Structure 1
Amino acid sequence: MFTYKDSTLLVSALGLEEGSGRPVLSGFGVTVALDNEVPKKLVYQVCETMHGVNKLGAYEEHTLKFDDGGNVNVSFTLRCFEDIVLGFVNGRIATKNPFMQKKSFSSQASIRITLDEIVGLTSLMANYQHNEWWTRPHFESDLSKLPAQTISLLWQSDAAYYRLLPVCGPVCRTDLQGGGGTHDQGLSVILSSYQGGLQHQETLAFVLGFGKEPYTLADRTTEAALMELDYPVLPREHKTYPEVLDYLGWCSWDAFYQKVDEQGVLAKAEEFNRVGLPVRWMMIDDGWSTEAGGKLQAFDANPDKFPEGLAATVAQLKEKHGVKWVGVWHTIVGYWGGIDSNSTLAKSLGNYLYKTADGSLIPYPDPALGFGFWHAWHGYLRRQGIDFVKVDSQAAINNFLQFERSVGASASAAHQAIEASVALHFNRTMINCMGMAAENIWHRPTSAVSRNSDDFMPKSPNGFREHAIQNAYNSYYHGSFYWGDWDMFWTINHDDHQNAVLRAINGGPVYISDPLGQTDPTKLLPLIYSDGKLIRCGRTAVPTLDCLTKDPIREPIPLKLWNYAGEAGIVAAFHIGEEPIEQEGTISTMDIPTLADKRVVLFEHFSQEVKVLEPWECCVFTLQPEACKLFLLVEMKNEVTPIGLLNKYASTHAILKQWRKQGSELIRLREGGRFAFHSEVVPSHVLANGQEQQVIALGNNIYEIACGHILEELDIEIVWRR
């Protein structure tokens, strides 16, 4: 139970006697920044305590009051539940004479809650916004070095994991940053409205939670914040994954960049047909729009690139080339610079557009008025046959509207307006992109998929290293809100194999951006079924416990990601270290939280090595530079443990059902292929849909049958010797 005493937050330590406590956060202080004034530290006055009950349960609430001895006062409230603390900030500037010049909070870093120390910290993993659009991990345990704009902080102590989650509310955005405490140690919780001119700022600033298991802790803290905020934003588990993105796709960006045109898109679709690759959706990315000077001029495609219009291109893709869905790209303000104010588009939809202080014209930052613009455009696109959209440049909303709207209000208005239109016209199917700023993450009501990293860089010699580490560790916090889009990749590239394995475990969309003549279907077939449907893992992939708070680039350890492939666990291990040396790692039942105490068959996909792991047992493996391994951990329940389809990476995903009858074991598969199973009893014979099949003994009690000629659901029957 969290409690508060003498400027220190306490928590009953897990594993210790009831009632004993240890510090968690120590030494609170408050600093405020007012316009045109030097930041000042406020003086602590009193702590008031009360008890209550709400939708999160019973709590004990402590309100610390600070002031400057004059007109500025800040209340910092800790509402402590059993395993969660909500931190609220309420700052006011008193104005005695309304007609006199007023003081106001600065637009950025207006209120800073400082903490001298996190007691007992042994290691950490933070996620910080390293540029306007994207986040990446940080691992240094020295809190004074915590980067600016940190939007999630996980740390480990001897007793538990702790997660400090700053919140972006209806007005203010909260960030963490190192320093600010006594002697500039510790860390700061920083509030910014990006508006200025405010005399009152009140917000839920952060959530702090603890637990033995960090993955449920991420979801628990996120859901507690969303419940307290009580605005229409759903956690990932309550969102619907779009049907379109359950299939293999292609995007024009890395193939053509802004030189995309009808001829190139149709030629690529013809190529997929020729090589027999079932690409079911195509995204026409940046470059298709009618624009001038970086501003949108019209709804339809650029007539020089798409001479017969967007509808004609879409019709050919669907009718001639068998593409089921077609999407198009646009930014959250139409095009990069907004709407061309001299266009007929601006004149006809002027009531739904807003002119910013710098003269930019953008969809109105109001849910209802902004919807008017998107409804008009998306309705037009739908009539051309477009099925979904990718919405880019989302973090730019605050760049257009800072000082005019608060960061929370502008993001909320933009996302509500566009998502209402996408829900109406495209069945909520959209890819959010360039939007890992906190204000974007916290304000999308129902969209389910969002980019999880910076761009795939096909020509960067070490691009996979940064791409993998961002996607892996960003997924820890981002996965509580969204299925991560881990971006497109090339099937012919120096990193093609690693990228394919990374997509096998990610749990989100899989799509490529191969240029003309550059598609290698063999890199993709292990990721899909014969109809193009993805072999998609069950949740968002995250690092395993043994590397969750460690840096696999600078430390000699593999990056390991875990997920579920059907009912089995799956772990992908990558060598992304800077040092070109052999790495040693371990694979264990403990890598999959629900399998730690289970007996499992461990199967490595590429080597086909097999081992039976007892509960809590570890197995050592090695990795060469830029290499990867893929492990399946399948619980042993009966005489037969199905490994699934060896020609697929997440092989156990194909297993739909397993049941027994006298003398045999039956397994239903999603489709045929190289089916393998583990059995400590030698089978008499094996049937596929009632037809006897040749049984190949692979060694170590693994058997294979080849049933790739069956491209539909089938039943495998394994009969024992009598």
Structure 2
Amino acid sequence: MVALSTHCYRITTINWSPRIHSLTFDSSLTYTLRVSKRTKKQFASGISLSSINSINPSFLYKRSEIKSLLVETEREAEREKEEKEMTVTPAVRIADRKLIVKDRTILTNVPDNVIATSGSTSGPVEGVFVGAVFNEENSRHVVSLGTLRDVRFMACFRFKLWWMAQKMGDLGRDIPLETQFLLVETKDGSHLESDGGNEENQLVYTVFLPLIEGPFRSCLQGNSQDELQLCLESGDAGTTSSAFNHSLFISSGTDPFGTITDAIRAVKLHLKTFRQRHEKKLPGIVDYFGWCTWDAFYQEVTQEGVEAGLESLAAGGTPPKFVIIDDGWQSVGGDPQNADEEKQQPLLRLTGIKENAKFQKKEDPTVGIKNIVNIAKEKHGLKYVYVWHAITGYWGGVRPGVEGMEEYGSVMKYPTVSKGVVENEPGWKTDALTVQGLGLMNPKNVYKFYNELHGYLASAGIDGVKVDVQCILETLAAGLGGRVELTRQYHQALDASVARNFPDNGIIACMSHNTDALYCSKQTAVVRASDDFFPRDPVSHTIHIAAVAYNSVFLGEFMQPDWDMFHSHHPAAEYHASARAVSGGPVYVSDAPGKHNFDVLKKLVLPDGSILRARLPGRPTKDCLFSDPARDGVSLLKIWNMNKYTGVLGVYNCQGAAWNSIERKNTFHQTGSEAMTGCTRVARLSLYLTMLQCLYPSRSLSTKYSLSHPSRSWPPGSASHHWGSLTCSMLVEQLRGLDMKFRVVSSFRN
């Protein structure tokens, strides 16, 4: 409250808020002026002492008194600002038994034993860590986090022990077991895209990251009451706890991709056990075309077969610059069986670190695998040769007591598979590993094994390894401190050996989609993004493309996703090839020698064997994140990426096949349409269009416009199929607000 005399003054200002042009004090009577907090704030933000241009008094009055009023108002506004900064309401918080995100309620009925800890020590709080307390210690706990309804979500869950896939829904009951990543979109304001910057009317994205805490690993799941549950497991009956503080991280924002990156960064700073993709060295193979022996030969691969494949691809004008010699090169054998034992297919185990007889030079067996490495590099000009091995040595581990490998301390262990995995993949009950066990090396000795294996391979000219079967470790942790601890010990040893023996960071992680591994990986920069390419399984191809794209939303924060090999001579060849082009990862095939489609390959591979690789992990566009392009019968999958100077958009029909939650396997289903028409507003691609505009405002680029525009041709005056040259700024300007329609036919299914 400010007392004023009966004098009138008009204060004219410059550089002021456009809402307040002058301030007049009426001199007709003596009164007190009530100045609201909002007015003071507007006044203080719009005027300062230096902005006074003129004072025109009706009566003689001291200018210092007017200045005093301004100073007092400015100081009060500053105090209010400081008080507000000191009492910022967290963007994510639990209050009144609700999870509230930017003033929107995401979860209701949050139990009292669920606790939240701030994710930041200063400034605005954008995330919280969540835990729970229980009445008794146990090796497995399940707690409700509250009721989830009236949202849209995308979950990445493990449908197999080894691999994740995507699931969309809008209720808690839709969230699968073994969910390791959950992205939620609020419906508030979901149709108000032009909101003048008012965050109240923007879409809000909330990311849930179940973490590892001590020896426990957590995941999410739903139940029939629409409760979102947190499941915590150690994998070892002797490793127990009853209190958890940091088992889940929740963060939010208005850009889904930025929100995810920021959340992973916050978790990294908390755990200090892993690094993000941009902090790791990508191996050289990602920028070259390659060939893998697996689908060409499976375990019957020989060095003669390897050479035949390299020759065949080079002869067609697409010379590979790297090769992965997959399973089939190692020295393995089954367990000895007594005559009275029931005959069964033996599970093979590693019996030595060197190659088997197929990869020994006939004239001089001591040369070993170095012979084919020399042929590949010297005769065929390859830059990199990788070989395959399991994280435990081989599928059945290392045979205990085998001559020459006693020092690794291998003992027989039988997998104990978590309840959620068994529910999703019932076959584990009778799997060969469950029945016959695995020879697990002592975790204290596993670095010695990796170093001797990798050292031998490096001395032969091998540049890297594809390390498979990684998730098996979580099932073997009984009596060893739990799944997290066993995984950590193995991965620390693996990272150290790769760093020592393969300076190009030559490693690909495979069958490795559990968070036990993701949250302890500091070295590996390339990870297989989904279940295998299955050339003989027609149900698998659309499922594969959808899975790699959605899994990359999460996996791409840790490593560069590898969308796997494919066949160039196959009904789905172009479908797979175009996806690899937009993936940002390695491009390689597994063709049998002489069975190639060079028309397809030459669209991917330059004559020198290099590729034009996209720079980021390929991911669904923003408008596809919560639609289901495999199941809903109406949605197309749009995948975006960045090249060095341009943006890339791929559009795919993935309808008609998906993982069946009832049959627990991939199945076809009817969608009612083989050809799909979809639409996107290019404004939804604003992330990379803005990057283009900022980074390369005058760069010229070529773009192929092959989209159907019912209301106008684009660019102006052109046909709908057109090659044009324009600047990035022009591209952004002409694309914004334009509806693009696609018609994509899926014609390769048998």
**TM-score where L is the length of structure 2:** 0.70
Deviates more, 1:290-299 or 1:155-164: 155-164
Q: Is the 8 A contact 1:574 1:626 kept in 2?
A: no
Map Cα deviations across residues 577-632 of structure 1 (whole Å, 9 max, x no partner).
2233332222443242335677998633698436963422222222223499xxxx
For residues 608 and 240 of structure 1, do their structure 2 counterparts lie closer, same or farther at Cα, with a shift above 3 Å needed? farther
CA distance in 2, matches of 1:148, 1:499: 29
Aligned with 2:678 (options 585, 605, 615): 585
Map Cα deviations across residues 110-161 of structure 1 (whole Å, 9 max, x no partner).
222213323641x111111001100001112221131110001111112411
Aligned to 1:4: 94
For residues 10 and 337 of structure 1, do their structure 2 counterparts lie closer, same or farther at Cα, with a shift above 3 Å needed? same
Q: Secondary structure at the match of 2:603?
A: helix
**Which amino acid is the alignment partner of residue 409 of structure 2?**
L
CA distance in 1, matches of 2:95, 2:563: 44
Map Cα deviations across residues 650-707 of structure 1 (whole Å, 9 max, x no partner).
xxxxxxxxxxxxxxxxxxxxxxxxxxxxxxxxxxxxxxxxxxxxxxxxxxxxxxxxxx
Aligned to 1:164: 208
Q: Structure 1 residue 464 and structure 2 residue 546: aligned?
A: no
CA distance in 1, matches of 2:454, 2:177: 37
For residues 45 and 437 of structure 1, do their structure 2 counterparts lie closer, same or farther at Cα, with a shift above 3 Å needed? closer
Q: Is the 8 A contact 1:354 1:363 kept in 2?
A: yes
**Which amino acid is the alignment partner of residue 326 of structure 2?**
D
Q: Structure 1 residue 276 and structure 2 residue 317: aligned?
A: yes
**Which amino acid is the alignment partner of residue 107 of structure 2?**
L
For residues 481 and 336 of structure 1, do their structure 2 counterparts lie closer, same or farther at Cα, with a shift above 3 Å needed? same
Q: Structure 1 residue 88 and structure 2 residue 88: aligned?
A: no
Q: Secondary structure at the match of 1:471?
A: helix
Q: Structure 1 residue 267 and structure 2 residue 308: aligned?
A: yes
Aligned with 2:260 (options 206, 209, 218): 218
CA distance in 2, matches of 1:304, 1:211: 56
Aligned with 1:175 (options 201, 212, 219): 219
Q: Secondary structure at the match of 1:116?
A: strand
Q: Is the 8 A contact 2:323 2:384 kept in 1?
A: yes
CA distance in 1, matches of 2:558, 2:254: 22
1:429-448 alignment runs, 5 A limit: 429-448=506-525
Q: Secondary structure at the match of 2:169?
A: coil
For residues 405 and 198 of structure 1, do their structure 2 counterparts lie closer, same or farther at Cα, with a shift above 3 Å needed? closer
Map Cα deviations across residues 475-509 of structure 1 (whole Å, 9 max, x no partner).
11111111001000000001000111000000111
1:292-331 alignment runs, 5 A limit: 292-293=333-334, 294-304=348-358, 306-307=360-361, 308=365, 309-331=368-390
Aligned to 1:419: 495
Q: Secondary structure at the match of 1:379?
A: helix
CA distance in 2, matches of 1:281, 1:620: 39
CA distance in 2, matches of 1:587, 1:357: 52
Q: RMSD in angstroms over aligned alpha carbons?
A: 2.6
Aligned to 1:230: 272
Q: Structure 1 residue 621 and structure 2 residue 742: aligned?
A: yes
For residues 280 and 458 of structure 1, do their structure 2 counterparts lie closer, same or farther at Cα, with a shift above 3 Å needed? same
CA distance in 2, matches of 1:528, 1:588: 31
For residues 207 and 627 of structure 1, do their structure 2 counterparts lie closer, same or farther at Cα, with a shift above 3 Å needed? farther
Q: Structure 1 residue 355 and structure 2 residue 355: aligned?
A: no
Map Cα deviations across residues 520-539 of structure 1 (whole Å, 9 max, x no partner).
23212222333222211111
Q: Is the 8 A contact 1:260 1:305 kept in 2?
A: no
Q: How many percent identity over aligned positions?
A: 29
Q: Is the 8 A contact 1:261 1:306 kept in 2?
A: no
CA distance in 2, matches of 1:169, 1:228: 11
Q: Is the 8 A contact 2:443 2:489 kept in 1?
A: yes
CA distance in 2, matches of 1:91, 1:429: 44
Aligned with 2:649 (options 545, 553, 571): 571
Shift of 1:185: 2.6
Q: Is the 8 A contact 2:221 2:229 kept in 1?
A: yes
Q: Is the 8 A contact 1:286 1:329 kept in 2?
A: yes
Q: Structure 1 residue 209 and structure 2 residue 242: aligned?
A: no
Aligned to 1:644: none
Aligned to 1:687: none
Q: Structure 1 residue 509 and structure 2 residue 550: aligned?
A: no
Q: Secondary structure at the match of 1:382?
A: helix
Shift of 1:279: 0.4
CA distance in 1, matches of 2:269, 2:746: 45
Aligned with 1:477 (options 554, 573, 577): 554
CA distance in 1, matches of 2:737, 2:532: 38
CA distance in 1, matches of 2:104, 2:468: 46
Shift of 1:441: 1.8
Shift of 1:269: 1.6
Aligned to 1:32: none
Q: Secondary structure at the match of 2:440?
A: strand
Shift of 1:544: 0.9
Aligned with 1:604 (options 688, 693, 705): 705
Structure whose alpha-carbon radius of gyration is higher: 2
Q: Is the 8 A contact 2:400 2:410 kept in 1?
A: no
**Which amino acid is the alignment partner of residue 553 of structure 2?**
Y
Deviates more, 1:609-618 or 1:259-268: 609-618
Q: Secondary structure at the match of 2:109?
A: strand
Shift of 1:410: 0.9
Aligned to 1:290: 331
Shift of 1:266: 1.2
Q: List runs of 5+ in structure 2 lacking aligned partners.
A: 1-90, 189-202, 335-347, 415-436, 657-670, 708-719, 725-730
Q: Is the 8 A contact 2:168 2:626 kept in 1?
A: yes
Structure 1 or 2: more helix by fraction: 2
CA distance in 2, matches of 1:273, 1:596: 37
Q: Structure 1 residue 337 and structure 2 residue 366: aligned?
A: no
**Which amino acid is the alignment partner of residue 303 of structure 1?**
A
Shift of 1:363: 3.2
**Which amino acid is the alignment partner of residue 329 of structure 1?**
W
Q: Is the 8 A contact 1:236 1:481 kept in 2?
A: yes
**Which amino acid is the alignment partner of residue 446 of structure 1?**
Q
CA distance in 2, matches of 1:235, 1:216: 14
For residues 398 and 46 of structure 1, do their structure 2 counterparts lie closer, same or farther at Cα, with a shift above 3 Å needed? closer
Aligned with 1:134 (options 163, 169, 187): 163
Deviates more, 1:136-145 or 1:352-361: 352-361
For residues 220 and 45 of structure 1, do their structure 2 counterparts lie closer, same or farther at Cα, with a shift above 3 Å needed? closer
CA distance in 1, matches of 2:573, 2:517: 31
Q: Is the 8 A contact 1:569 1:592 kept in 2?
A: no
CA distance in 2, matches of 1:124, 1:46: 22
**Which amino acid is the alignment partner of residue 86 of structure 1?**
F
**TM-score where L is the length of structure 1:** 0.73
Aligned to 2:285: 244
Q: Is the 8 A contact 1:151 1:165 kept in 2?
A: yes
**Which amino acid is the alignment partner of residue 270 of structure 1?**
E
Shift of 1:210: 1.2
Aligned to 1:22: 104
Deviates more, 1:517-526 or 1:486-495: 517-526
**Which amino acid is the alignment partner of residue 144 of structure 1?**
R
**Which amino acid is the alignment partner of residue 483 of structure 1?**
Q
Q: Is the 8 A contact 2:568 2:601 kept in 1?
A: yes
Q: Secondary structure at the match of 1:529?
A: coil
CA distance in 2, matches of 1:426, 1:592: 38
Deviates more, 1:135-144 or 1:338-347: 338-347
Shift of 1:571: 0.6
Shift of 1:230: 1.9
